[in-house]
Structure 1
Amino acid sequence: MKSIEVKKRILQSNTEFAERNRRLLKEKGLVTLNIFGSPGAGKTSILEKVIRNMKDKVSIGVIEGDLYTTKDGMRIEGQGIPVVQINTCGACHLDAAMVEESIQAMNIEKLDVLFIENIGNLVCPASYDLGEDKRITVLSITEGNDKPLKYPFIFKQSDAVVLNKMDIIEFTDFNLDEFYEDIYLLNKDIKVFLVSARSGEGISEFCNYLESKLVKNN
């Protein structure tokens, strides 16, 4: 696993870097997916399940964002796919310059899809275009159904939301009807997937959605 530690910020427009990333990734035929979510929502666990489901069909690479550790990157690398770890040293989001450096450190010629697991945060990451094709937000049942209205920007910007930990919904006061009402009020076109990273519930449906994006890109 290659590791990139952010030592200084490049004073250049994020938009400029993002467009450069987008052009390169499109030229190489990659579908790039930016994954958001709070700490503990289950981003890495879902990504592990998705990789197991899809890696025999498509070639996958991952850029793993974290504040300080490489623990999540090591978990993903254990799936036998290329991983570049970005440690932001306290910054609450990834930016396009960091992603550009990571792309340069990865052999993208052989990849079909690139996952970018962003820093655990429902606020800052949504403001930074990384050059991705799609944005996916992971939300867990334990966070409560009020999060879409509390953090509307990230849900307005997302193409899909993955509602994780459905296996324990009966032990919480999560109101699924209110969740649907709020999420579609913010974004009528968003796709919703009810999943459990623990049991595997809903993972196949989510993978089918991801694979449909790969087909459309070809």
Structure 2
Amino acid sequence: SVNEKKFKANISSWGCTSFILLSKLCDHDEGYLVNDSCVVEVKVSVRNGIKILEDQETGKLIDFRGLGRVEKTLVPFLEEVCSSYPSLLECHKKRSRMFIQCAFTALGRLLRFLKTTKAKDMTHDACKRLQLLWEELETFKFDLAWLEPHVQLVLVTKKRSGRVDRLREYVEMWENEMKRRRDYVAAAEVDLEAAKRDLAKAEEEFKIDMETELGYPLP
């Protein structure tokens, strides 16, 4: 008889929340294979009302070179790089319109970040944001040989600047310590000079001729 198993990711006993071993898949007692056949039925549903790619700030989408609709604010950045690298427009022409829209939106968002972010604004969170944008863009398989070195340089530069900041703090700490010690030495020198003066005065008051007979008093 043919057994049926309904897979649900949130039900571990009937679903499969992660990859399974091939040995488990081939084990007939597990019920995945029946008569050396495994039938997989996939159902994909998308909730209505989700506005994919809609700009959260303006909500405006416009056509980009007939390839699809992208956020209006991204178009200037896309136009600039696509004019310099025409291959970007050719590599995805055989893809679905939705895929192309997602791909150029990912590219545009990364370009906008690079164009509108100053080096001084590259905080830890900004670096994480850039890394995320880059990883998302990589999934669309653009030829990014022209862009990757620059992105990696920005990320590495931030790490180096963090090291520079730490060393600067270390130097500042020792400068403050040296100032504190110099102040201490200056105060000690003042105390030393005062002690020398007191010693000289005391020696003068009690100065005697070492060759003088001590003697004793008589009536």
Q: TM-score w.r.t. structure 2 length? A: 0.18
Structure with greater contact order relative to length (CA < 8 Å, sep ≥ 6): 1
Structure showing greater Rg: 2
Greater strand proportion: 1
